[in-house]
Structure 1
Amino acid sequence: MIGERGLIARHAGTVLVGQLAVMAFGVTDTIVAGRYSENALAALSVGAAVFISVFVSLMGVLQALLPVWAELHGADRRSEVGRSVRQSLYLSAITIAIGMAVLLLPGAVLRWTQVPPAMRGEVETYLAVLAFALPPALLFRLFSTLNQSLGKPQVVTWLQLGSLCVKLPLSIWFAFGGAGLPAMGLVGCAWATLCVNWAMLACAAWLLRSSTFYRDYRLWERIEAPDWRQIRQFASLGIPGGLAVLVEVTSFTLMALFIARLGTAAAAAHQIASNLLAVAYMVPLSLAIATSARVSFWLGAGNAAKARRACRMGFELTALCALFFAGAMVALRFRLAHVYSDNPAVIALAAALLLVVAAYHFADALQTLCVFVLRSYRVTLVPLVVYCTLLWGFGLGGSYLLAYRGLGPWPAMQSPLAFWLMSAGALAVTALLFGALLRWTMRRSLR
């Protein structure tokens, strides 16, 4: 029989494969757009940044519902899972409406970020197509969250892998044209995403309807009128969760905008570091999802001691994996940088950044696990306040001062290293605070 550690590791491994497949969507579009034209690639960088900010934030709202269904699953209240899922559709409709409005009317955002007028037309067309790809993407995330809460992420991963096999040829065909279809360039990549997202949602709906696994959860009963009490409970978890994701994502993505003024070598070195970090982050993210599902399961079953044990197992796995990746970044920093660039200046700077990125990753892994498990205990507002204060204030604001104006006794560094140093420090403090908060929360739960 698989132990608690094995269950978490297997669940996390399955989620990880699916997450990497989803990441490959973006890689596919980047390669296709880059091969089509430089203008398409430049427009993609802007359009993708807007779409990802919207999608990831709204996805965080729905992902935060995982503890609700995992608890019902642990308490063996299966029929209540179906009613809860149906009520979550109202919250999903609100998130879809907000997301589509932003994507269909991005003019204000593009003007605020000073996107060149010549580029705006292509970006706006790209985002308009993705606006209609957003509803199936968010509803599929709801399906994914349900399966993760029930301890069955395999079907989601298989669908994500299968969709990648469809996405790649569709993006190439729609972008470059052929077989009677005109070349659409970057917009073709968006149409490919739209087709794949709706196909994934159709497969998910068919599985929910036909698979015997979901039968006892009574998902397909007639939808009830809105239960505003339950929807408010969803919102109390989802809104702080989504805002926390927004703060975390923007504190990371805004670094690139601030570093761009330091020149191409600095921007290239930062891109290498951030790309490697994004791949490594998929491991603690997957472990956090798996651990929070098990913790919520045991809390639903009324066993706080086993919930605490599951948390400890997840913490051990996360720390070991983070140490492994951090060590690899340090030991292989020059080789990893050389994979991305042949420029000696870029390689030297990227190698220096990876020394700090290793510490950043370790702290990031631990705080990610803590914040996911804290949601299992319904603790959401304090992490949001900590994120805003430390990641935006100390991390992003402090790094800007250290890079360009000087901070206390330290003169302006005029280097991307300033951003990584301050951000790593902010994440380290965040991890310590979240760890202390989680420890106190679990002790209170045991009492």
Structure 2
Amino acid sequence: MHHSSSSVVEVKKLLAIALPIMGAQIAQSSMSVADTLMVGRLGADPLAAIALGTSIWMPLYLFLAGCLLGITPFVAQWTGAKESAKIGAFTFQGIWFGSIIALVSILLMYHSQWLLFWLEVPEHLHPMIADYLIGIMLGFPALAVYQTLRSYTEGLGFTQPVLVISLICLVIDVIANAILIYGFGPIPALGVLGCGLGTAIAMWSSVGLMWLNIRYRRRYKDSSPLDHFARPDWQSISEIAKVGTPIGIAIFFEVGLFTTIALFIARLGSTEVAAHQIALNVTSVTFMVPLSLAMALTVRVGHGLGESGYLQAKMAAKVGVLCTVGASFVISAMIWLLASSIAGLYTPDQGVVELAVALLYFAAIFQLSDALQVSASGALRGYKDTKIIMPITLFSYWGVGMGLGYVLALTDWLIAPVGVKGFWIGLIAGLSCAALLLCWRLYKTSESEPLVPARTVKSE
């Protein structure tokens, strides 16, 4: 009996961390929805420019955020072990690490012209894309600071502030956009450039709000990174990089897969592109549920390891993976049952709706593999066992997923080419392969008694 009651407690602790993260992720993805809707009123070209600009900066941002997730398991383990004195100085070094990545990202965006030529983007869109990216580049240093402080507060298990800040910044983004895109009083209408600047204002606002939250709330007093301004300490930075970089690269591979598929589909015609876009839009929203549970799982496994070692962590991992899969069953059933109503919301075009419904059925199937792979890698992050995630995702997404998808969609090597559906079958195969390999690795890691003592970083 004791076992089941401790599982219930674990579920409650997991959800207490996961639900605010979920709200925050949805608020953040709503920002890009708001941008799209507001620029959409200016016409098709500005909309295309923002879509293409986003596909350049979004992977860079997700890589940055992934790398800084490397801070969370350290903070979680030290919190569990009641060693909060180590947290502040270590976390501050994340700001240096993030700033290096932000700087490289800004350089890549500044020189993204060659990419646009290579992708054969119509040349009249280039100046608009460049305008939009100016704003984003101004905001990127803010992302380095914000993501560091976000990983820190989530590692402590305090996730409400992230939710509140994301909601406030969504409002700031919409107001700044309205003023800068369409003009207001003495401020001229800046169009696409205004949208980029509005986003940058929201990014810097999030830093200011997070700073106030950490500076003036008692719960951060013992571990605040704001009291530890220091020059770069390469040992701490390399510790964060060791755990974080494989996560960043794995996320980059996954996002890259979806963007590349979108580019391949472009040659199949607008019905296929539109249907793919609808299915992708739906899954990127539903993915926030397993992703948030996985982020909370990292914290719970870290706390478990720090508090009472491997048994506690193992239970946290097991409960977390089961919760995530349970949630995705519900989502999967909803997508399956509501597919035609969902597709109808996006477009009146019957051809697009029919194809989108077919793709949504595929999407319903891959929710389960997706939940398994994301929760297993969330738990592995808690164990700081992240090196393996990168080769597994590279092989699964690009070898199996992209390889099979390309063959089925665009060639007649196995069967007559089936177009966009082929890519979705490839996605299911790739995600399932990743799920199997990551779950196997998690089983191995959680079964092996302490490979690592609770704490191995040099003590001050």
8 Å contact from structure 1 (residues 144, 156) kept in 2: yes
- Distance, in Å, in 1 between the alignment partners of 2:184 and 2:234 is 51
2:323 alignment counterpart:
317
1:209 alignment counterpart:
215
Secondary structure of residue in 1 paired with 2:225: coil
Offset at 1:64? 2.5
2:449 alignment counterpart:
445
Q: How many residues align?
A: 445
Q: CA RMSD in A?
A: 1.5
Secondary structure of residue in 1 paired with 2:107: helix
Offset at 1:222? 4.3
Query: Which of 136, 139, 154 is the matching residue for 1:148?
Result: 154
Secondary structure of residue in 2 paired with 1:217: coil
- Distance, in Å, in 2 between the alignment partners of 1:86 and 1:238 is 15
Deviation string, structure 1 residues 42-100 (Cα, Å, up to 9, x no partner): 10011011010111111110122211111111111111001111222221221121111
Which moved further from structure 2: 165-174 or 288-297?
165-174
- Distance, in Å, in 1 between the alignment partners of 2:386 and 2:100 is 20
Offset at 1:29? 0.6
Structure 2 residue 198 is matched with structure 1 residue 229: no
8 Å contact from structure 2 (residues 408, 417) kept in 1: yes
Which moved further from structure 2: 308-317 or 108-117?
108-117
- Distance, in Å, in 2 between the alignment partners of 1:389 and 1:114 is 28
Supply the AA of the counterpart residue of 1:286: S
Secondary structure of residue in 1 paired with 2:448: helix
Supply the AA of the counterpart residue of 1:433: L
8 Å contact from structure 2 (residues 246, 386) kept in 1: yes
Structure 2 residue 392 is matched with structure 1 residue 386: yes
Query: Which of 117, 121, 132 is the matching residue for 1:115?
Result: 121
- Distance, in Å, in 2 between the alignment partners of 1:337 and 1:220 is 47
The change in CA–CA distance for 1:218 and 1:279 in structure 2 (over 3 A counts) is closer
Supply the AA of the counterpart residue of 1:149: G
- Distance, in Å, in 2 between the alignment partners of 1:364 and 1:391 is 11
Query: Which of 405, 416, 421 is the matching residue for 2:411?
Result: 405
Equivalences for 1:17-416 in 2 at 5 Å? 17-408=23-414, 410-413=415-418, 415-416=419-420
Which moved further from structure 2: 431-440 or 373-382?
373-382
- Distance, in Å, in 1 between the alignment partners of 2:206 and 2:231 is 27
Deviation string, structure 1 residues 303-326 (Cα, Å, up to 9, x no partner): 211111111111121111100111
Query: Which of 5, 14, 19 is the matching residue for 1:8?
Result: 14
8 Å contact from structure 1 (residues 305, 446) kept in 2: no
Deviation string, structure 1 residues 336-380 (Cα, Å, up to 9, x no partner): 111112122111111111111111121111100111211222222
Offset at 1:209? 1.8
Supply the AA of the counterpart residue of 1:363: S
Deviation string, structure 1 residues 144-169 (Cα, Å, up to 9, x no partner): 11111101010111011111112112
Q: Which runs of 5+ in 1 are unaligned?
A: none
- Distance, in Å, in 2 between the alignment partners of 1:192 and 1:329 is 33
The change in CA–CA distance for 1:251 and 1:240 in structure 2 (over 3 A counts) is same
Secondary structure of residue in 2 paired with 1:4: helix
Offset at 1:37? 2.2
Query: Which of 435, 439, 445 is the matching residue for 2:439?
Result: 435
- Distance, in Å, in 2 between the alignment partners of 1:443 and 1:92 is 34
8 Å contact from structure 1 (residues 91, 231) kept in 2: yes
Offset at 1:407? 3.7
8 Å contact from structure 2 (residues 214, 224) kept in 1: no
Offset at 1:105? 2.1
Deviation string, structure 1 residues 375-406 (Cα, Å, up to 9, x no partner): 22222222211111120121112211211112
Supply the AA of the counterpart residue of 1:405: T
2:3 alignment counterpart:
none
Deviation string, structure 1 residues 159-215 (Cα, Å, up to 9, x no partner): 111111121122111101121111110111111111121122112112222221111
- Using the size of structure 1 for normalisation, the TM-score is 0.96
8 Å contact from structure 1 (residues 167, 193) kept in 2: yes
- Distance, in Å, in 2 between the alignment partners of 1:222 and 1:162 is 27
The change in CA–CA distance for 1:330 and 1:220 in structure 2 (over 3 A counts) is closer
8 Å contact from structure 1 (residues 103, 130) kept in 2: no
Supply the AA of the counterpart residue of 1:322: S
- Distance, in Å, in 1 between the alignment partners of 2:140 and 2:273 is 30
8 Å contact from structure 1 (residues 36, 176) kept in 2: no
- Using the size of structure 2 for normalisation, the TM-score is 0.94
- Distance, in Å, in 1 between the alignment partners of 2:227 and 2:356 is 55
- Distance, in Å, in 1 between the alignment partners of 2:165 and 2:94 is 22
8 Å contact from structure 1 (residues 96, 138) kept in 2: yes
8 Å contact from structure 1 (residues 36, 175) kept in 2: no
Identity %: 28
